[in-house]
């Protein structure tokens, strides 16, 4: 639904993204940045795609639709999130929409903060994007951190994700994606595939055939680059549904990416050391 309003601030010109954040205080920064970068904002009838565009009082701003609002922040650790405890490792099932750790000094309600309050001092050993759900490992500190770090560095920890992607697509039955990735010079909140420089990113995938016409993949990253799975799926022309940065945010009610299973090497805790997070209800039915 198209919305119109007049900038009503006085004094010096104000950045467009700041004006929109004042207008929609419950919207996420990403949603506002995506709205502007996607050329869905007009100022006095002219399409504007720069967040830094200067707005003066009385300017008429037109947007295609209001930006998505942030979910109500969680303020309590739910014991049901705990999947299992194995020695000094705690595996938890992180909900979508919850930060793994504070991104800024004034952030509140991250998984790490909530876990520290409920479980005592713990360390976040790795991260998931805010909108990704699933298995995440916490540790109680000590030698386990060094042992886990060595296991991750030699790629002995196997992480498996499930995602629903755009359909139809041209994904093979299975494959390995090998690229180099770097920060998008035009948008610091995004990553891009580059021909040189950057960091190596490797993802194995298997397509899951769905007779209902939906398209699913199992993803196993060898490396852990920022947004790696989201970028790699978009790179193959099959962006993950609900992805506000690399796909269509309106294609699903959330980012359809879930950390389903983490398997630890035998030399850490012996055979059978794995943790699984059940698929969220949004993923059902899935073949």
CB 242 within 8 A of CB 184: no
> How far out from the chain centre does Cα 129 lie?
3
Neighbours of 111 (CB within 10 A): 25
286, two tokens: 């899935």
Residue 243, beta-bridge partner list: none
Neighbours of 27 (CB within 10 A): 17
Contacts of 119 (CB under 8 A, 6+ apart): 77, 90, 138
CA quadruple 74, 80, 85, 91: dihedral sign: negative
CA angle 65, 129, 166 (to 5 degrees): 60
Backbone angles phi, psi at 82, to 5 degrees: -70, 120
Q: What gap in Å lies between CA 78 and CA 114, rounded to an integer?
A: 9
Q: What gap in Å lies between CA 129 and CA 198, rounded to an integer?
A: 20
Q: Of 59, 129, 131, 243, which residue is the catalytic one?
A: 129
β-pairing, 257-263 with 274-276? antiparallel
User: Annotated catalytic, 107?
Assistant: no
CB 211 within 8 A of CB 287: yes
CB 274 within 8 A of CB 261: yes
Q: Any idea which residues carry the catalytic annotation?
A: 129
């Amino acid at each position: 639904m198209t919305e119109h309003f007049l900038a009503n601030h006085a004094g010096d010109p104000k950045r467009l993204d700041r004006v929109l954040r004042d207008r929609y205080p419950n919207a996420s920064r990403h949603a506002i940045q995506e709205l502007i970068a996607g050329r869905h904002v007009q100022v006095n009838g002219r399409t504007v795609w720069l967040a830094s565009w200067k707005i003066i009082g009385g300017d008429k701003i037109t947007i295609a639709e209001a930006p998505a609002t942030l979910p109500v922040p969680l303020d309590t650790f739910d014991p049901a999130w705990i999947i299992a405890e194995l020695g000094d490792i705690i595996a938890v099932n992180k909900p979508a929409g919850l930060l793994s750790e504070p991104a800024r000094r004034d952030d509140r309600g991250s998984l790490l903060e909530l876990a520290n309050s409920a479980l005592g001092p713990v360390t976040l050993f790795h991260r998931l994007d805010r909108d990704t759900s699933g298995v995440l490992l916490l540790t109680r500190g000590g030698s386990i951190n060094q042992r886990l770090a060595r296991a991750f560095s030699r790629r002995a920890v196997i992480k498996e994700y499930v995602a629903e992607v755009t359909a139809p697509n041209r994904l093979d039955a299975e494959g390995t994606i090998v690229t180099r990735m770097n920060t998008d010079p035009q948008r610091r909140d995004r990553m891009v595939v580059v021909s040189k420089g950057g960091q190596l990113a490797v993802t194995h995938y298997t397509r899951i055939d769905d007779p209902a016409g939906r398209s699913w993949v199992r993803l196993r990253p060898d490396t852990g680059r920022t947004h790696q799975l989201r970028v790699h799926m978009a790179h193959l022309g099959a962006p993950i549904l609900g992805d506000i940065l690399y796909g269509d945010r309106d294609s699903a009610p959330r980012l359809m990416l879930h950390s389903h299973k983490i398997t630890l090497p035998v030399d850490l805790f012996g055979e059978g050391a794995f943790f699984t997070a059940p698929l969220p209800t949004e993923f059902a039915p899935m073949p």
